[in-house]
Structure 1
Amino acid sequence: MVRGPHSEPVPDDATPRDPAPLDPAPLCFTPLSGPGGAAPVDMDVRLQRLLAWRQHGQSKPATASTVADEVAVIAKVSDVARFEALSEVTPGVVVGGIAADGTAIVTARIPVQRLDHVRSRGFVLSLKAAQRLSRELQATVGEIHARPEDLPPGNPHGGQGVVVGIVDTGCDFAHRNFREAGGGTRIGKLWDQNARGQGEPGFAYGAVHSAAAIDAALLGAGDPYAALDYWLDPAEPAHGTHVMDIAAGNGAGTGIPGVAPQARLIFVDVANSDIPWSGSQVVGSNFGDSVQLLEALAFIFREAGSTPCAVNVSLGTNGGPHDGSTLVEQGIDRLLAQAPNRSVCIAASNSHEDGIHAAGTVPAAGSHDLAWVVAPGDRTQNELELWYPGSAALRLELVSPEGLSVGNLEPGESGTASQGGQVVLFAANRLSDPNNGDNTIGVFVAPSVSPGRWVLRLTSTTGDPVPFHAWIERDDKGQSTFEAPLDNTHTIGSISCGHNTIVVGSYDAHKPALPLSWFSSAGPTRDGRQKPEVSAPGHNVRAAASRSVTGSTRMSGTSMASPAVTGCVALLLAEAAAQNRSLTAAEIRSMAVQAARSDPPVGAAWDDRYGAGRVWAAGMIALL
């Protein structure tokens, strides 16, 4: 199961096993179905093939012009403005202008899973393969009004005197955007939790690299990565490098600074080795229980000391109770209450269109069937988690795709099923979680188990109706889904439900209508609180590329939106310090919400995806 940054896949901890051999049978065609079961037979054959790959659990790899699971297209459209306004569409160029018949040939990039949706629009007359056009970080900084000329006169420049902390993966300390004019580093500390080392007191694992050690590596004659013994994949742009540049890059390499370019930086390359990511032990485990994640945050705040500090976390999973009760969320709230002038911004998640949430009520008399669909070509493990009130009790019967009952689990019971001496199925019907008192059902299915339509048959054992919410865990290489019709509410991530964190959704700053990103997850929390708080540009953001020294790369995701808000908080904290004012985390969060701009969103004080609206750096500072 993949756990990692919101915007890009990370490697599985173990290579999935091939499914168990099936009985020989003649090959036969399976009709390709789009949303609602409609077969897009009028679609370009190559695009149909990409859809077929996805429906069978296979991903399209990234290319020089696209990210993973995205395809470059050329389209003939009757309305360019409406086509480019679709949040799924990253526009390229209009080829040759508008013809006499009113049509135009345009290039664009579209996520594979949204091809049929885009193709079905009436103004899309044809869809083929094409090339893409990239976007720049300056669209983010300009749209949120974080440029120096947008801020009040006398505002401290670029977040000077503030620490921006990044908890992520992959810090390219050698990129010019994170170096001073003389070549030295802007990074005060880099804690690589994955390294073999002794750490330092209180954080006694991994390797902690000081600014002096980073400078020695940068200013020496050899390879700086070898000198520091810190390695980055040369073939894959590092997620954390991109995120850090959005929040606080100085533009010395790319020419385009981030939101708080004068802030001091602290980076934790977070490990997740304290969480089981494979096998039946994954049931009930997610980032919300990660000691290493919580320690990363504690480390940053310790290093910052009394200096104002804004931290970004663009990580997450789908599981968990979604009520703010995980230990990491509780720990973050406590860290924020420990001292003033602290803030943590967290990406909302990119799961809105993934079919990973379901909700319903088990009737007082009778059962409720919850269908869980694993694609035929899915060679990854799959995991589901269901939460319901602690005052209730549910019996679970698991029914296989063949229509056979695997067995029943009464409240408080768990069970396993084995093949070839290995556990391939595990389910737990757990009562009274210690953090919130609620009950939870978890189901794990190994890669070797039959794909298809699994059914969780739920029966109330107390004779009362029982409301529930369920989530399928994130799996970037073979996402299983609930059966349509889908409920895409409550899709924010596993650590995005705390009380004083600022959770951030994504929209596209490159389009006049500023549409929501199609992937940006929705609130509220399971206990009914309004998350996300705000939204920010996260669509097609071009920022620093690792191992390039001065280069940039494009990424999309709420991972790219969250650091924009982190940078805004850094600007706010710098101004507050200049006024000799202290701000609590609750006040910072409130200012972000109060200053948020609407239209869009329209018609509500809070939108389940935009939040209170689009972040406004200048407006936040004006509230001081």
Structure 2
Amino acid sequence: MYWIGFLLIALTLLNIPVKVDVPSHSFADLIVELDEGMVGRLETLGHVRMVMSGIATLRVSRHLIDDVVGIVRAVYSPRRFTPSLEVSTAEIGLPEIMEMKGLNTAGIDGSNVLIAIIDTGVDYNHPAFKDSEGRSRILYIWDQTLEGKPPKSFDYGYECSPEEINSGGCPERDVNGHGTLVASIAAGSSGVARSASLIVVKAGGPVCDGRFWSFDEAGLLDALAYVHEKAVELGMRLVINLSLGTDIGGHDGNSPLEKVLDSLVEQGVVVVVAAGNSAADGRHVKLHTSAEAPVGIRFNIPDQTSEYSISLVTQPDEGLGLTLVSPGGEKLEIGLNRTENWKAYEVSTESYKRGSIWEGLLTVTGPVEGLWRLEVSENSLDSRLLHLWLESDTCSSLRESFTAGVGYEISQESTVSIPGTASKVITVGAYMTRNRWVTESGRTVGVDGVVGSLEYYSGRGPTIDGRVKPDVTAPGGVIIGAKSRDMGGVSIDPSGLERPGRGTSMATPHVAGVAALILQISPTTTAEHVAYVIQKTARQDNFTGSIGSAGSNAWGWGKLNAVIAYPLIIQITGYTPSTLSLSVNGTSTPLSSGRAEIILLKNTLYELRPVFTGDGVDVRYRVEPEKYYVSSAGEVIFSVSAQYHVNVFGGDGELLYSGWVPSKTVLDLENLSGLGAGQGFHLVRRSVAGYYVDGSFFLERRVLVDRPANIYIVVAEDYTGLLLVAVISAVIPVSIYLGWVYARYRRNRW
């Protein structure tokens, strides 16, 4: 079994957490793959700590391991993971995005987004993590290395509440400093997402007298379950930063840890993982097996090493012969899935088969220093491609490595570490943004490398199943960030509060911070779309060369670009009701004026639609066009008009008109009532004298409609026609009589 880190046991004295590194021989921490409904049976054998996506972690008595094997689909030995170790924020364009403000955000700084740092801990009192009021933006800390107050659902560790963190009563310390530096890049006061909240899990523990750090896979799985549960409780979108990795595994995205990470992404969690630092370490070889003669693969294990492992991946496994040759020349034919004592060594093997891919694991424990050889023979007639990765627990300044030989190639390909080979995570490589800096004493120090170039150590793809990795590259060397005051001073530190760092560990939190900015701008976007935006906005330059749509196994889709958004001007013409909102892909934001600016994500299609919450029985609004689709900067103009319901009543109270009238329309009451010109001759002529609205009288015949109204026409009656008829009626008889009198007079005269 591949030994992992320490089994940490802590004692509590007078309620003060005290860490004591004592190996446990009676219990084992296991990772199992299980079918639905098996958790109850597992709980009868040991303590189940977390269950997610068919993967569980549990602690069980060693004599019950065989019972566990008998009821689950697979048992995995937890692997050891190691950390993957100003100018950089300007390099990615952060100042430009920070200046953007709009209707949907007062500033792009990661507000209301939670970033989880699973690492060596954090100096939670560092000023980099304080807000403007002096309160910590770190909401919770779970120190898995201490005992005394475990989080709910877990039986170990110490969870610090916000109150303990802000009062300085949290016992957690970051003596390594890696976690503090990573957290400050992602969300420190000079980092990327400067107002994001943090949750920190201190996992693993120191090795090699504190010079290095090691993470236990079971603890990482527990940490993932913990931070996800907290994010759900807080109602916040979550970004997980994993600046760590291992080369032991299938490199096809199917390890237990990677399956859990992919499941979290499907649930909306953005997971950002380091590509690893082993591209130039000579720890990956590939070869084509041959039935003609075995291939002897040589590798060197440095001093101060007690264990090494070799991961083998091919397809299929039938017919593959393996012989291990020790530094002394002794040979051992290796069988699968067994442990045996050989000479001064313990040799154990495990194997897994997933579809067409076979993964084997060889672990050797003991005084392993020296030059070894693994002879690979092909017992079938077919040749096949075989990959091998080497890793050890060495405390030496030298690393384990393959040495050149005949029949195999030491390759930088497929050196992205696990869990960076997971399908749905954002995997981050590193490039150089600084090679000189000034120490606290005023001395200028530096490292080799060309600013702008890909870091020589940055893990390369593809994955074993042919996917492009990494997804993007980000500043990884040399990065200046927060220094934990729990660690000792180093002569190359720029100040007592800062330290330099180099590695894909430093590149990864840059991307995690940008992911938080994306979620702040678009809180409902999927985790998959966050990765898409980061890929598509990545920039290319002379160092990356032209990168096609398929991506690059060195650079991903390019260098990280924090300018992931653009401002769009919204113009409302015509009528602007107080109840107007703008719907952006279904999420509404109130509009307080007829002109506004909104911040939108690049490489994202948006549907913009004005929404009027004031529509009722007497008022309604109409807009042209009803909606816009946008994906780039510019100006969008909506023309809005209001319509009011109007009733017009005649002088006798009869309803003359009832309907919707556009705002600012002028109603001619004479035409509506039929009392205007053209109505012919009437003895009594009726006309509009004015109207009543809301109890007020207006001496007008036209109405300007600016609200819903009941209009009552006041009618005036004109009797001129009747008088004329009366006059005419009187004049005609008189005229006839006078005519008759005149006629008689004329006759009598003549």
Q: TM-score, normalised by structure 2?
A: 0.56
Q: Given that residues 497 and 531 in structure 1 are in contact (C-alpha distance below 8 angstroms), is that contact kept between their aligned partners in structure 2?
A: yes
* Structure 1: tracts of 5 or more residues without a match: 5-12, 16-110, 112-137, 218-226, 251-256, 279-285
Call closer, same or farther: CA 1:413–1:157 in 2, change over 3 Å. Answer: closer
Q: Given that residues 337 and 348 in structure 2 are in contact (C-alpha distance below 8 angstroms), is that contact kept between their aligned partners in structure 1?
A: no
SS in 2 for 1:472: strand
Q: Could you report, residue by residue, the CA deviation over 1:469-507 in whole angstroms, capped at 9, with x for unpaired residues? A: 110115463321111252111111121111110010011
User: Which residue of 388, 392, 402 maps to 1:482?
Assistant: 402
Call closer, same or farther: CA 1:475–1:410 in 2, change over 3 Å. Answer: closer
Q: What residue is the counterpart of 1:622 in the other structure? A: 602
Q: CA deviation at 1:392?
A: 3.3
Call closer, same or farther: CA 1:449–1:336 in 2, change over 3 Å. Answer: closer
Q: What residue is the counterpart of 2:347 in the other structure? A: 426
Q: CA deviation at 1:568?
A: 0.4
Q: How does 1:541-580 map to 2 (within 5 A)?
A: 541-547=479-485, 551-577=497-523
Q: What residue is the counterpart of 1:117 in the other structure? A: none
Q: Given that residues 260 and 568 in structure 1 are in contact (C-alpha distance below 8 angstroms), is that contact kept between their aligned partners in structure 2?
A: yes
SS in 2 for 1:455: strand
Q: Could you report, residue by residue, the CA deviation over 1:212-239 in whole angstroms, capped at 9, with x for unpaired residues? A: 121122xxxxxxxxx3222343xx5x10
CA distance in 2, matches of 1:232, 1:2: 24
Q: Are 1:385 and 2:308 counterparts?
A: no
Q: How does 1:191-340 map to 2 (within 5 A)?
A: 191-217=142-168, 227-233=169-175, 236=176, 238-250=177-189, 257-271=190-204, 290-305=217-232, 306-338=235-267, 340=268
How many residues end up aligned between the 2 structures? 451
Q: What residue is the counterpart of 2:56 in the other structure? A: none
CA distance in 2, matches of 1:413, 1:425: 11
SS in 2 for 1:583: coil
Call closer, same or farther: CA 1:400–1:322 in 2, change over 3 Å. Answer: same
SS in 1 for 2:459: coil
Q: What residue is the counterpart of 1:445 in the other structure? A: 364
User: Which residue of 116, 134, 137 maps to 1:183?
Assistant: 134
- Mean Cα displacement is larger for which, 436-445 or 488-497? 436-445
Q: CA deviation at 1:210?
A: 1.0
CA distance in 2, matches of 1:148, 1:450: 53
Q: Given that residues 530 and 608 in structure 1 are in contact (C-alpha distance below 8 angstroms), is that contact kept between their aligned partners in structure 2?
A: yes
Q: Given that residues 544 and 550 in structure 1 are in contact (C-alpha distance below 8 angstroms), is that contact kept between their aligned partners in structure 2?
A: no
CA distance in 1, matches of 2:250, 2:346: 22
Q: Are 1:417 and 2:375 counterparts?
A: no
Q: CA deviation at 1:150?
A: 5.6
Equivalent AA in structure 2 for residue 521 of structure 1: G
* Percent identity for Structure 1 against Structure 2: 29
Find the structure with the greater CA-based Rg: 2
Q: Given that residues 365 and 463 in structure 1 are in contact (C-alpha distance below 8 angstroms), is that contact kept between their aligned partners in structure 2?
A: no
Call closer, same or farther: CA 1:413–1:213 in 2, change over 3 Å. Answer: closer
Q: Given that residues 274 and 508 in structure 2 are in contact (C-alpha distance below 8 angstroms), is that contact kept between their aligned partners in structure 1?
A: yes
User: Which residue of 462, 472, 482 maps to 2:390?
Assistant: 472
Call closer, same or farther: CA 1:199–1:379 in 2, change over 3 Å. Answer: closer
Q: Given that residues 121 and 203 in structure 2 are in contact (C-alpha distance below 8 angstroms), is that contact kept between their aligned partners in structure 1?
A: no
CA distance in 2, matches of 1:444, 1:244: 34
SS in 2 for 1:157: coil
CA distance in 1, matches of 2:480, 2:229: 31
SS in 2 for 1:538: strand
Q: Given that residues 298 and 335 in structure 1 are in contact (C-alpha distance below 8 angstroms), is that contact kept between their aligned partners in structure 2?
A: no
User: Which residue of 504, 507, 515 maps to 2:428?
Assistant: 504
Q: What residue is the counterpart of 2:640 in the other structure? A: none
User: Which residue of 529, 532, 537 maps to 1:590?
Assistant: 532
Equivalent AA in structure 2 for residue 175 of structure 1: H
Q: Could you report, residue by residue, the CA deviation over 1:249-294 in whole angstroms, capped at 9, with x for unpaired residues? A: 01xxxxxx10000011111112379xxx99xxxxxxx97x823212
SS in 2 for 1:159: coil
Q: How does 1:1-400 map to 2 (within 5 A)?
A: 138-147=86-95, 152-154=100-102, 155=105, 156-217=107-168, 227-233=169-175, 236=176, 238-250=177-189, 257-271=190-204, 290-305=217-232, 306-338=235-267, 340=268, 342-375=269-302, 377-390=303-316, 392-400=318-326
CA distance in 2, matches of 1:151, 1:499: 34
CA distance in 1, matches of 2:535, 2:352: 34
CA distance in 2, matches of 1:171, 1:356: 31
Call closer, same or farther: CA 1:563–1:232 in 2, change over 3 Å. Answer: closer
Larger RCO of the pair (alpha carbons < 8 Å, separation 6+):
1
CA distance in 2, matches of 1:432, 1:545: 42
CA distance in 2, matches of 1:451, 1:391: 28
CA distance in 1, matches of 2:526, 2:256: 21
Provide the aligned C-alpha RMSD in A. Answer: 2.9
Q: Given that residues 309 and 343 in structure 1 are in contact (C-alpha distance below 8 angstroms), is that contact kept between their aligned partners in structure 2?
A: yes
Q: CA deviation at 1:607?
A: 2.4
Call closer, same or farther: CA 1:188–1:411 in 2, change over 3 Å. Answer: closer
Q: Could you report, residue by residue, the CA deviation over 1:74-99 in whole angstroms, capped at 9, with x for unpaired residues? A: xxxxxxxxxxxxxxxxxxxxxxxxxx
Call closer, same or farther: CA 1:595–1:495 in 2, change over 3 Å. Answer: same
Q: CA deviation at 1:447?
A: 4.9
Q: Could you report, residue by residue, the CA deviation over 1:66-120 in whole angstroms, capped at 9, with x for unpaired residues? A: xxxxxxxxxxxxxxxxxxxxxxxxxxxxxxxxxxxxxxxxxxxxx9xxxxxxxxx
Q: Could you report, residue by residue, the CA deviation over 1:578-624 in whole angstroms, capped at 9, with x for unpaired residues? A: xxxx2222111111111111123114322222211101111363234
Q: CA deviation at 1:412?
A: 5.6
Q: Could you report, residue by residue, the CA deviation over 1:16-56 in whole angstroms, capped at 9, with x for unpaired residues? A: xxxxxxxxxxxxxxxxxxxxxxxxxxxxxxxxxxxxxxxxx
Q: Given that residues 471 and 557 in structure 2 are in contact (C-alpha distance below 8 angstroms), is that contact kept between their aligned partners in structure 1?
A: yes
Q: Given that residues 460 and 470 in structure 2 are in contact (C-alpha distance below 8 angstroms), is that contact kept between their aligned partners in structure 1?
A: yes
Q: What residue is the counterpart of 1:61 in the other structure? A: none
